[in-house]
Amino acid sequence: MQTSSSLPAVIPIALIGAVTLVVPLMTPPTVQFGVRIPAERGGDAALAGARRGYRLGIVGVTVAALLVALFVPGGAAARLSGVLVEVVGVYAVYLVARAHVSTAKHEGRWFEGRKQVTVADTALRTRPDPFPWLWGLPAAVIVVGTAVFGAIRYPHLPDRLAQHYNTSGHPTSYTDKTFVSAFAPVGAQLAVVALMVALTWITFHGKATLDAQDPHAADRQRRFVAVMSRCLLLFAAAVGLTMFFAALATWNVLGSTGWFPVILLAPAMLATLGLIVVALRVGQGGSRLRYATTADEADSAAEPAAVNRDDDHLWKGGILYYNRDDPSVFVQKRFGFGWTLNWARPAALVFLVAVTVVPLLLPWWLR
């Protein structure tokens, strides 16, 4: 077993396992494993059993995936199969937990006789908070710095530049030195960082997901969007730094070693861990933020006049959102942290093509 060469698979597996293990802690009390429930059902025995089974399942799947990545012979293919085992296994564990909650909800008739409503707060649109452009400055500095460093380095580059690397960080193919090939890392970095900043701006102005049973839903939403936009802009800077290290390798400044993948991925991985910490602090939609409860709010929570609309039919598997009547393209995830697409909108398909086809065609265009 070569530890350093296994790290490109081990790190994602461990990260996926850690994130999915804590996801139920981030979700609002009225949405459990992608199933809409009344808030007062949060302590139901069925939910406790689903959470316990989910935790055990995630730990078991992650251990199995790590064993596949580390010990199954077959080189890179075996390590990638470990990631596949983790992704498929995690989704299967989630579906089992979701089915358990959904069955309890329907058999217990949790929504029967309840007034179901959908709420909105117009102040979130008429008096929005300003977008934190200043937090995007680190990402801009890194991109400009990469371009400047590349311009200084360009006259000293060899005639052949490394184009691709294996999982151990060693070059596997080369290309002739041209202006396009030398500055391809800068172009890719600029495109990725710009896309991340644009998505942050779009989601900042996106649809607000409010809770009819939460009197502080609008306040939580404001704080959630404010915190997340800043974190995503810093994450864009971290990704830009990772791509700067990749450019250094192409420009023969950063030597290829067994620990090259670790050096390369460290900024993005650390930023991802930071996002996880923030997610645990604020929760999806700000659900974990604490507000003082007044006596009237306590009485209202004890005997709620209305509950959130039972809208499970709009979420396929609790993950894919499909609603023709909703003009929003980006909506907050139901299980997880951040945003997802409304697949009923044509713009969602355009976005999917833009973020998948364009990166695949870019290396061919730069050849």
Has residue 122 been placed in a domain? Answer: no
Q: Is the pLDDT of residue 167 over 80?
A: no
Cα separation, 151 vs 137, whole angstroms: 21
Neighbours of 222 (CB within 10 A): 18
Residues spanned by the domain of 275:
129-196+215-306
Residues 95-113 have pLDDT tens digits of 999 999 999 999 999 998 8
Q: What is the reported pLDDT for 63?
A: 95
Structure pTM? 0.81
Among candidate residues 26, 14, 13, 10, the one with its CA nearest the CA of residue 277: 26
Tell me what pLDDT residue 15 has. 85
Q: How much of the chain, in percent, has pLDDT values that exceed 90?
A: 41
Q: Place 31 in a pLDDT band, splitting at 50, 70 and 90.
A: very high
Give residue 251's identity as a one-letter amino acid code.
W
Residue 137 lies in a domain: yes
Mean pLDDT of 141-158: 91
Q: What is the pLDDT of residue 171?
A: 67
| DSSP class per residue in 152-195 | HHGGG--SEEEEEE-TTS-EEEEEE--HHHHHHHHHHHHHHHHH
Q: Is residue 282 part of a domain?
A: yes
Distance CA 249, CA 236 (A): 20
pLDDT of residue 108: 93
115: CB partners within 8 A, 6+ apart: 305, 306, 307
81 assigned to some structural domain: no
Q: What is the pLDDT of residue 319?
A: 92
> Is residue 67 domain-resident?
no
Give a yes or no: residue 58 inside a domain.
no
Does 284 reside within a domain?
Answer: yes
Which has the higher per-residue pLDDT, 169 or 72? 72
| Averaged pLDDT score across all residues of the chain | 84
Residue 1 pLDDT: 46
Instruction: Give the pLDDT band (50/70/90) at residue 324.
Output: very high
Listed in order, strand segments (DSSP E) in the chain are 31-32, 35-36, 116-117, 160-165, 171-176, 307-308, 315-316, 320-321, 330-332, 339-341
pLDDT band for position 359 (50/70/90)? Answer: low
**Residue given tokens 């959630």 in the structure block:** 224
Looking at residue 2, its pLDDT comes to 46
> What residues pair up with 165 in beta bridges, in sequence order?
171
Whether residue 95 is contained in a domain is answered as no
Q: Residues 111-142: pLDDT tens digits?
A: 988 888 888 777 777 788 899 999 999 999 99
Domain count of the fold of the chain: 1
- Six token digits for residue 218: 């609008």
- Does residue 360 have a pLDDT over 70? no
Is the pLDDT score of 320 beyond 60?
yes
